[in-house]
Structure 1
């Protein structure tokens, strides 16, 4: 089964979406970079039709310098869902994509099925701080992304699933200002996100690797307590890239969505 490439014009932004599989629709939102790719979605493709958009300015989508915060991406995503003709898709978000999915569900949850928040960013809780990206040496990034460093290392220069060094650097240079446009307002989150989560009507699972060094799993109870119909799934001995480190993570997500 191969990935298809779909293209939509959303408010003048050429938006590229990878799609794979057959079955109920799942919209999967990536994090603050596209380093780890989207191959993980093959684990859902036998049961679901998975749509994996590149956010504006990321991956194969066009740049969008007008983006000035997460709310712009929420509106972009809602318009993209309409353009794709999706009816009540399940919503999956990882890291920054989890923050995005949470905000989408808080304002328009009735338009979706179930919600999966995989190590979501966004809360910025002072007692459970995430890693300070500016303080991580480049050669240490893989160790922050996966407990088994070899898993994350394959997405970086010299790794088996990394493009050329030139392409890797070009992608980061493209995505860095796009990320900056999102974070300029409030950093990696919103000060009122915790207040909004109670509006989420969707059945929700919060997935977290217990060895996550990027965003600590100690945040999971905060999310579960704030979302009315939520439960938590802790994955043992994996880090921020739980879906890449342990394929059983993807299977568990699929089982939740299929019930």
Structure 2
């Protein structure tokens, strides 16, 4: 499945994104490493029109003066949905992208039909816990099956720059109390996916989301860590098809 890289003017600045597939619209919000086209995304593109917006400053894109925090990122994505997709869409977010997706659904519930949160970041109550650490340690925490990853196409410098931008947007906050206070504004059906071997996002996170989002449901995935769609792509795709259909 081929994805085209496109660019659109949103008024407050430009947005770059990848688009591919055919069918009902599904928007993916990427993690802190930047956009990834996984085998699961390619499979979903056989039955969905996939949009993958690149957050400003990620993957070599330009920063935008008016987009400085997580709520700003959500507003940026809301403008993208309204102007490019031209209507509400199903939204899936992974990790850092799941954090943005929560803000989006809380601020603009009219633009989100259904919400899928794969190991979302930003709701870690363990504020005294050590961060990811060196790349090898992070890899072991992020993947139950690192051998399933596709060959890396980003340079180490780009990955480091992407992660630095994610930290800048979040202000290095690990527990977003402001977001928690607004989670009950998320009115759409919400699927929370959590890998039982996740070493990045703690198990308290999905419970916080389920408690505060009125129509949320948690599904735990065995033999999967932080990147469920890589560790267990078939299960991930099946769950999304069931939820979206």
For 1:123-202, list aligned pairs within 5 A.
123-126=123-126, 132-133=131-132, 136-151=133-148, 154=149, 161-163=151-153, 168-184=155-171, 187-202=173-188
Matched, 1:241 2:231: no
Cα pair 2:141 2:200 within 8 Å, conserved: yes
Structure-2 change in CA distance of 1:224 and 1:131 (3 Å): farther
Aligned mate of 1:209, from 195, 199, 218: 195
Match of 1:83 in 2: 83
Gaps of 5+ in 2: none
Cα pair 1:200 1:228 within 8 Å, conserved: yes
For 1:93-104, list aligned pairs within 5 A.
93-104=93-104
Structure-2 change in CA distance of 1:119 and 1:176 (3 Å): closer
Match of 2:121 in 1: 121
Larger deviation: 93-102 or 53-62? 53-62
How does the TM-score come out when normalised to structure 1? 0.86
SS in 2 for 1:114: strand
RMSD between aligned alpha carbons?
2.1
Partners of 1:31 and 1:177 lie apart in 2 by: 12
Larger deviation: 58-67 or 19-28? 58-67
Gaps of 5+ in 1: 155-159
Partners of 1:63 and 1:13 lie apart in 2 by: 9
Partners of 1:19 and 1:62 lie apart in 2 by: 19
Summarize deviations over 1:37-67 as a string: whole Å, max 9, x none: 1223112112211101110011253233653
Cα pair 2:93 2:117 within 8 Å, conserved: yes
How does the TM-score come out when normalised to structure 2? 0.90
Cα pair 1:67 1:181 within 8 Å, conserved: no
Partners of 1:199 and 1:12 lie apart in 2 by: 26
Partners of 1:50 and 1:93 lie apart in 2 by: 13
Match of 1:256 in 2: 243
Residue correspondences, number: 243
In the TM superposition, residue 14 of structure 1 has moved relative to its aligned partner by: 3.2
Structure-2 change in CA distance of 1:176 and 1:96 (3 Å): closer
